[in-house]
């Protein structure tokens, strides 16, 4: 019997795979799914042996956005302080990858944009169709998309509401890996393993600086960076990384 949980969580080594699990509704996000995502992401961030997360959709598609039936019942799938599907306002501290097959539309595309890396099938389709419904992509689409790809391409997507092909998204720098249909999760796992081989403290600090420094001033940006990166240089893992390099072996990270 299929698992009826709206979000499936699987641990593979030091990876956590989170599957949006409403294939009968193209994985449209419900309040229950958003709450489950918050729980899963908090557990992911807190687990000392987990380094990288992956979000994927069940049934050959990523996510069609908000569940409209739930919306009509007054159940918006947005968590205060965390955003749509529990991730768009406050993504996890650790790196996270979107593995996209099929459609990633509206809030589904905004979940993708909340991730640090994107792997997609050549047949995947992305879109922010909110303007076609008299709405606005307020779950991060309007904020993130113009920063992730050329402004005019992003604005065409935002203002027409038309879909963006994976090929065009890849050509314009939005997608890290473009793969054959059905191969997105395997390629995301391969990419995640390459990331997860690195120091866990280094990954968290590097993501924090890269994401937070967007609005730092030139006068204090190195000082603010140092507050985040100095503890990494003083860590046991930093000594282990240097020792492993000198001894020509793989490092054994402790996360301290």
DSSP, collapsed to helix, strand or coil, labels residue 242 as helix
Class of 7-196 per CATH? Answer: alpha beta
Q: Decide if 247 is catalytic.
A: no
Share of the chain above pLDDT 90, in %: 95
> In a 10 Å sphere around its CB, with 0-12 CB exposed, 13-18 middle and 19+ buried, how is residue 35 labelled?
middle
| pLDDT at 1 > cutoff 50 | no
- Nearby residues of 124 by Cβ (< 8 Å), 6 or more positions away: 62, 100, 101, 102, 103, 104, 165, 166, 184
> Is 90 exceeded by the pLDDT of residue 68?
no
Report domain extents, the chain.
7-196, 200-246
Alpha-carbon gap, residue 149 to 145, rounded angstroms: 6
pTM over 0.85? The answer is: yes
Percent of the chain with pLDDT over 70: 99
Listed in sequence order, the residues at least 6 apart from 166 whose beta carbon sits closer than 8 Å to its beta carbon are 100, 120, 121, 122, 123, 124, 125, 126, 175, 178
Mean pLDDT of 156-175: 97
pLDDT higher than threshold 70 for residue 2: no
Which one from 24, 110, 190, 240 is the annotated catalytic residue?
110
Task: Express each pLDDT in 82-131 by its tens digit.
Answer: 999 999 999 999 999 999 999 999 999 999 999 999 999 999 999 999 99
* 110 tagged catalytic: yes
Quote the pLDDT of residue 71: 76
pLDDT band at 75 (very low <50, low <70, confident <90, very high): confident
Annotated catalytic residue within 130, 190, 212, 240: 130
Reported as a single tens digit per residue, the pLDDT across 203-222 is 999 999 999 999 999 999 99
Q: What is the mean pLDDT of residues 150-158?
A: 97
The residue ranking higher by pLDDT, 78 or 1, is 78
């Amino acid at each position: 019997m299929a698992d009826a949980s709206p979000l499936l969580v699987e641990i593979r080594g030091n990876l956590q795979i989170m599957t949006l699990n409403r294939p009968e509704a193209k994985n449209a996000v419900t309040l229950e799914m958003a709450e489950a995502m918050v729980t899963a992401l908090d557990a992911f961030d807190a687990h000392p042996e987990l380094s990288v997360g992956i979000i994927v959709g069940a049934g050959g598609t990523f996510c069609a956005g908000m569940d409209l039936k739930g919306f009509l019942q007054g159940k918006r799938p947005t968590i205060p302080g965390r955003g749509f599907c529990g991730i768009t306002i406050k993504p996890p501290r650790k790196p996270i990858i979107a593995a996209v097959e099929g459609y990633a539309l509206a809030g589904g595309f905004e979940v993708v944009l909340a991730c640090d890396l994107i792997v997609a099938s050549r047949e995947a389709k992305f879109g922010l169709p909110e303007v076609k419904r008299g709405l606005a992509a307020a779950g991060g689409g309007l904020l993130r998309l113009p920063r992730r790809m050329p402004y005019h391409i992003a604005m065409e997507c935002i203002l027409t509401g038309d879909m963006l092909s994976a090929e065009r998204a890849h050509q314009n720098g939005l997608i890290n890996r473009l793969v054959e249909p059905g191969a997105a999760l395997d390629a995301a796992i391969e990419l995640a393993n390459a990331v997860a081989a690195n120091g866990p403290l280094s990954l968290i600090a590097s993501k924090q600086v890269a994401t937070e420094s967007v609005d730092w001033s030139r006068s204090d940006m190195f000082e603010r960076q140092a507050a985040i990166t100095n503890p990494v240089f003083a860590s046991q893992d930093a000594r282990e990384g240097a020792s492993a390099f000198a001894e020509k072996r793989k490092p054994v990270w402790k996360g301290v």
